Amino acid sequence: MKNLSLLLFSAIVLLFSCNHKPNSYSKDGSELFTAQELFPTPPRPEGVEDVIELKCDPIDTVRIGFIGLGMRGSGAVYRYTFLDGVKIVALCDVVPKNVERAQEILRKKGLPEADIYTGTDDWKKICERDDIDLIYVCTHWDLHTPIAVYAMEHGKHVATEVPAALTIEECWQLVVTAEKTRKHCMQLENCNYDFFEIATLNMAQQGLFGEIVHSEGAYIHDLRWLNFDDTTGYWNMWRLKHLEKTDGNTYPTHGLGPICHLMNIHRGDKLNYIVSMSSNQFGMTEYAKDKFGEDSDFAKRTYKKGDINTSIIKTEMGKTIMLQHDVTSPRPYSRLHTVSGTKGFAQKYPKKGIALEPNAHHFLSQQKLDSVLALYAHPIVIDIEEKAKEVGGHGGMDFIMDYRLIYCLRNGLPLDEDVYDAAEWSSIIELSQKSVENQSMPVKIPDFTRGAWKKVDKVTYHTK
């Protein structure tokens, strides 16, 4: 019996070692297990260069085609009527009333009417026009990458709503096309321009927090009422369909974007690997039963998306990031935005606060907090803060984002958010899904810069 037990134990050890081969060894010869590289990096074509700090010819008047005029798109059209140096040339949406609503926004401001498009594939016609400089994409997620790639291939700069891509393959499509065409591809991550977030970026760059060691971001937003609304919610209930088929972090960029800029990702550091875990799904089914009845179609559907997803990311320089996603639980909205350094700490949710050495056990008083935020207001915000709050868009951050995009295009400057940001932040969707599917296995994050992440050493929001 003893020999049989030993034989069984040996067989188990052998089986485990065969299925979990180490990738490397430590200095003392012990075996190390490393993150799985599920997505190899394609080589950059000969003669093609990276687009870090890409500069393009200045455009005096930026001619724009808007594609997708639902909740986000119509708001964008409104904001752009307050910007100088732009001309709205085309409006496109498969819902005619959305196009008419956007057209009415132009009329009320006394601006020329735009050409309208309502066909399913009319977005291609807009990209093919020779009198448009920028394609602004606010469609459902599945069309973001196809439109962005097609636009760049037809000589247009592109700005696309979040997430810019849904898969690693789409992330690479964006990068490869931007490098080949030398056109800007910006993911419209508005949270980078929220007043607190961009102030902490300035604080970090001026050393207030010391060495940033750890950051946290999230998208915690109870969207059940919208996801289950088949009339005034998301068009064709597209967002609910994603919750039915996809687990992991399906909407990572609002939380991740601001902290990636704080930590100079692909500007001196890079994301190395991710470990992700989801709870089971409870809330969607319970909500559907309560609202529509236990025998309803919604209550009987299978929702793959776990209620709460938590991911941990390790960077090349040894920093860590915690990222969460939850659109199901009845809880207050939060993006966390937590910054922890060797000299200080900041957080936006649930209560805005900053703590600094030598008294970092306690947050600054409200008076001192207000003083610090005023002192470290980011230079790009100071001149347009009042107008941004007046025009609005999530409190003004949307207007600052749009203002900066047009400012950089008109002055031939690198954009604040480049195609590598779009790829890195969006890649978390599939990477987290793969980790969750494999019992939170560490998964390597592709280097979308293909080695160029050391080319500059910090994030810069350029001005003339």
Domain residues of the chain, as ranges?
A: 62-188, 191-378+418-454
Q: Is the pLDDT of residue 30 over 90?
A: no
In the prediction, which pLDDT does 339 show? 98
191-378+418-454 has which CATH code? 3.30.360.10
Sheet with 320-326: strands ordered across: 353-356, 344-347, 338-341, 212-220, 320-326, 309-315, 271-278, 443-444
Round the CA-based radius of gyration of the chain to a whole number and report it: 24
CA atoms of 166 and 147, how far apart (whole Å): 13
User: What integer is the mean pLDDT of 130-156?
Assistant: 98
Residue 274's CB: how many other CB atoms inside 10 A? 26
In the prediction, which pLDDT does 29 show? 54
In the prediction, which pLDDT does 14 show? 37
pLDDT, tens digit, 9 for 90 and up, residues 106-120: 999 999 999 999 999
Banded model confidence at residue 35, pLDDT cuts 50, 70, 90: confident
Positive/negative CA dihedral, 173, 177, 178, 184: negative
CA atoms of 118 and 361, how far apart (whole Å): 57
Nearest 5°: phi and psi at 365?
-60, 160
pTM of the model: 0.92
In the chain, the percentage of residues whose pLDDT exceeds 90 is 92
Locate 267 and state its tokens: 């500007």
In the prediction, which pLDDT does 4 show? 43
Locate 219 and state its tokens: 């998208």
More confident call, 313 vs 232: 313
What architecture does CATH give domain 62-188?
Answer: 3-Layer(aba) Sandwich (3.40)
pLDDT, tens digit, 9 for 90 and up, residues 96-106: 999 999 999 99
Q: Is the pLDDT of residue 161 over 90?
A: yes
| Average predicted confidence (pLDDT) for the chain | 94
Phi-psi category of 30—alpha, beta or left, where left has phi over 0 and alpha has psi -120 to 50?
Answer: beta
Nearest 5°: phi and psi at 136?
-115, 115
In the prediction, which pLDDT does 157 show? 98
Beta strands (DSSP E) in 287-407 are 309-315, 320-326, 338-341, 344-347, 353-356
More confident call, 119 vs 30: 119
CA atoms of 322 and 194, how far apart (whole Å): 20
Sheet with 157-160: strands ordered across: 115-117, 86-92, 62-67, 134-137, 157-160, 185-187
Q: What is the DSSP string of 308-335?
A: -EEEEEEETTS-EEEEEEESSSS---B-
